[in-house]
């Protein structure tokens, strides 16, 4: 038995030895563009991750196999497990940042809030742009202070605004919001607290009553919270939970007799995994999302024809084709690809480095025409980034759960970003001050 110990010891030593020389086997070459995939396939969020990566990988395959790469530049990718933690995220980043066998990194997607925060300053030093879609620093919208952070499409601030705008739509105009009660049940964490500020502001502007009820992590017992909801008796509930706390919330809401079709889940509470465990109680549940579920967008037809039917899909379980998370993977991949494409327009049809990737992102402009070519119309919103604005978009669609599937019940609902921008500038200015940074000035062609 001692021997087995000795063995494990030898194993560790062997680990040390091999570590230096352990070059992952993946044929990449300097004429290719490296797309690092920081993934999480285990841990609390694994169930969603597995589909996201499938979506990304399928789209990258599609670009390579059908479109012959981006303007002929083939993509090469490799996975690194982050377990959704900061430290593993850093390890992966450090492993990947210099590219793979000469294939450079143009954009990096940390895929996970902790890693995103941990990397935001390293990335600046290494001149590698970070794309955080639907998470990450909201204040990084201000590209003058955060030149290498891109919280594209929908920050939590914009999400809050879209929610209010949608409710106004349902109630029949902003004037109707006055005197209404909107309760936010949020996961008591950095993520959950992000919307406190904007909702306060919006409540003042539109005169609705803003009720905030925190749910402590992990949130598998919420009777206290929903008893409070029942007591306050709001008109709408904005559900900003995640992971297990979402199904528990939906079930508990039903138990306290709150109408589920007046609960609006946020982007991390908008997948089938979030509602399935709640069973019948979730029927009629609403959710905001920048990447709606559905398998009959144009891109899905193409993917089905060229990837799935050829058996090249990364999906283990094909019934997840078109799920929210799969589609989020598609959208994430598309943003990266389009950024590189834009960059190539300036720097030439070759693999780009981080600096060039950032230029591409800041000049990204995806309009309906482009979406149509990509086959993303309806699945992805218009996205126009600039030096000052690293979010772009700022819209979401609302989908409703019918017990088995999501059905889209709204068009793109735009956030009132002008209203919230001062809040963001305030935060970014504070950050700049704390760090002693001088924001760059945007000349229009960085």
Partner 1 sequence: MTFFFETLLGGLLAGTMYSLVAIGFVLIYKASGVFNFAQGAMLLFAALTFVSLHDQGVPFALALLLTVIVMSVGALLIGRLVLRPLVNRSQITLFMATLGLSFIIEGLAQGLMGSQVRALDLGIDDVPLFVGPLMLSQFDLIAAAAAVVLVTVLALLFNKTRIGVSLRAVADDTTAALSIGINLNRIWQIVWAVAGIVGLVAGLLWGARQGVQFSLSLVVLKALPVLIIGGFTSIGGAIVGGLIVGAAENLAEVYIGPLIGGGITPWFAYVLALAFLYIRPAGLFGERAIERV
Partner 2 sequence: MSIPLAQHTAPLLLIQRRMPWALIGLLALAFIGVPLWGNDYWLNAILIPFLVLSLAGLGLNLLTGYTGQTSVGAAGFMAVGAFATYGFLLRLPELGLPVALLGGGVISALVGLLFGLPSSRIKGFYLMVTTLAAQFFLEWLFVKFPWFYNYGSSGTISAPRLALFGHDLNTPLGRYLLTLVTVLLLTWTAINLVRTQVGRNWMAIRDMDTAAAVVGIPVVRYKRLAFAVSSFYLGIAGALWAFAYLGTASASSFDINRSFQILFIIIIGGMGSIAGNFVGAAFISLLPIFLSHAGQALFGGSVDAGQLQNLQKIIFGVLIIVFLIKEPEGLIRLLHNLRDRVRQWPLRF
* Site of interaction with partner 2 (CB under 8 A): 1-2, 4-6, 8-9, 12, 14-16, 18-19, 22-26, 39, 41-43, 46, 50, 78-81, 83, 86-88, 90-91, 94-95, 97, 113-114, 117-118, 120-122, 125, 137-139, 188-191, 193-194, 197, 216, 427, 430-431, 434-436
Question: Closest separation between CB of residue 88 and partner 1, Å?
Answer: 16
**CB of 152 within 8 A of CB of 109?**
no
228 touches, from partner 1, partner 2, none (C-beta below 5 to 8 Å by class): partner 1
Say if CB 356 and CB 347 are below 8 A apart. yes
Contacts of 327 by beta carbon, 8 Å cutoff, 6+ apart: 55, 291, 292, 293, 294, 379
Q: How far apart are the first and last CA of the chain?
A: 64
Query: Residue 86 Cβ, how far from partner 2 at the closest point, in Å?
Result: 5
Distances in Å between the Cα of 294 and the Cα atoms of 177, 291, 321, 397 are 31, 9, 8, 12
Q: Which two tokens stand for residue 286?
A: 């609403």
The entry of partner 1, partner 2, none that residue 439 binds, CB within 5 to 8 Å by partner kind? none
Q: Considering beta carbons, is residue 89 or 360 the nearer one to partner 2?
A: 89
Residue 122 touches which member of partner 1, partner 2, none, C-beta under 5-8 Å by kind: partner 2
If the CB atoms of residues 319 and 435 are measured against partner 2, the closer one turns out to be 435
From 257, 219, 277, 261, select the one nearest 409 (Cα to Cα).
261
**Contacts with partner 1, residue ranges (CB under 8 A):** 41-44, 46-47, 50, 188, 213-218, 220-221, 223-225, 227-228, 230-231, 243-244, 247-248, 251, 254-257, 273, 276-281
Q: Which does 278 bind (CB under 5 to 8 A by kind): partner 1, partner 2, none?
A: partner 1
How many whole angstroms from its chain centre is CA 4? 45
Q: What residue 435 binds from partner 2, partner 1, none (CB within 5 to 8 A, per partner kind)? A: partner 2
Token code pair at residue 124: 């600046």
Smallest distance from partner 2 to CB 6, Å: 7
Residue 32 or residue 342: which is nearer to partner 2 going by CB? 32
Report the b/e string of 362-379 with b at 16+ CB within 10 A.
bbbebeeebbeebbbebb
CB of 431 to partner 1, least distance (A): 24
For residue 8, the partner it binds in partner 1, partner 2, none, with Cβ less than 5 to 8 A by kind, is partner 2
Of 241 and 344, the one with the shorter C-beta distance to partner 2 is 241
Q: Shortest Cβ distance from residue 273 to partner 2 (Å)? A: 15
Could you tell me if 191 and 135 are in contact, meaning their C-beta atoms sit under 8 angstroms apart? Answer: yes
Q: How far is the CB of 190 from partner 1 (least distance, A)?
A: 13
Is the Cβ of residue 170 or residue 255 nearer to partner 1 in the bound state? 255
H/E element holding 80?
strand 75-81
Between 255 and 421, CB nearer to partner 1: 255
Of 109, 85, 87, nearest to 34 by C-alpha is 109
Q: How far is the CB of 256 from partner 1 (least distance, A)?
A: 6
66 is written with which tokens? 């059908």
Q: Which residue spans within 82-208 are E strands per DSSP?
A: 130-131, 149-150, 181-187
CA distances from 174 to 152, 167, 289, 432 (A): 27, 9, 22, 35
Instruction: Give the residue with the Cβ less far from partner 2, 184 or 344.
Output: 184
Element (H, E) at 223: helix 223-232
Q: Which is nearer to partner 1, 149 or 210 (CB)?
A: 210
Work out whether the CA dihedral 180, 135, 441, 370 comes out positive or negative.
negative
């Amino acid at each position: 038995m001692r021997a087995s110990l000795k063995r494990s010891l030898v194993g560790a030593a062997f680990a040390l030895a091999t570590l230096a020389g352990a070059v992952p086997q993946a044929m990449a070459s300097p004429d290719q563009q490296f797309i690092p995939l920081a993934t999480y396939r285990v841990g609390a969020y694994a169930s969603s991750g597995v589909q996201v990566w499938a979506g990304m990988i399928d789209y990258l395959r599609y670009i390579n196999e059908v479109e012959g790469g981006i303007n002929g530049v083939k993509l090469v990718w490799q996975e690194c497990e982050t377990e959704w933690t900061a430290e593993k995220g850093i390890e992966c980043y450090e492993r990947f940042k210099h590219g793979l066998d000469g294939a450079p990194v143009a954009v990096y997607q940390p895929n996970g809030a902790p890693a995103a925060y941990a990397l935001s300053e390293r990335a600046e030093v290494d001149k590698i742009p970070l794309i955080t879609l639907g998470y990450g620093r909201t204040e990084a919208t201000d590209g003058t202070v955060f030149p290498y952070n891109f919280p594209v499409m929908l920050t939590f601030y914009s999400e809050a605004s879209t929610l209010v705008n949608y409710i106004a739509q349902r109630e029949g105009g902003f004037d109707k919001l006055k005197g209404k009660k909107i309760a936010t049940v949020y996961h008591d964490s950095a993520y959950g607290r992000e919307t406190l500020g904007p909702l306060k502001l919006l409540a003042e502007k539109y005169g609705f009553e803003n009720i905030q009820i925190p749910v402590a992590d992990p949130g598998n017992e919420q009777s206290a919270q929903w008893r409070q909801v029942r007591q306050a008796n709001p008109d709408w509930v904005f559900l900003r939970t995640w992971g297990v706390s979402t199904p528990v919330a939906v079930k508990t809401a039903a138990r306290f007799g709150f109408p589920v079709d007046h609960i609006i889940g946020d982007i991390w509470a908008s997948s089938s995994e979030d509602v399935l465990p709640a069973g019948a109680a979730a029927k009629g549940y609403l959710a905001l999302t920048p990447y709606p579920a559905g398998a009959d967008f144009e891109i899905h037809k193409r993917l089905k024809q060229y990837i799935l039917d050829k058996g090249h899909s990364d999906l283990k379980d094909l019934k997840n084709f078109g799920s929210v998370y799969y589609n989020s993977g598609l959208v994430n991949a598309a943003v990266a690809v389009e950024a590189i494409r834009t960059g190539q327009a300036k720097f030439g049809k070759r693999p780009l480095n981080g600096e060039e990737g950032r230029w591409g992102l800041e000049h990204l402009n995806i309009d309906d025409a482009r979406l149509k070519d990509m086959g993303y119309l309806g699945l992805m919103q218009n996205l126009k980034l600039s030096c000052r604005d690293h979010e772009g978009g700022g819209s979401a669609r609302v989908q409703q759960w019918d017990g088995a599937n999501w059905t889209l019940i709204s068009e793109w609902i735009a956030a009132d970003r002008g209203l919230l921008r001062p809040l963001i500038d305030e935060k970014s200015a504070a950050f700049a001050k704390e760090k002693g940074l001088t924001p760059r000035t945007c000349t229009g062609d960085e």
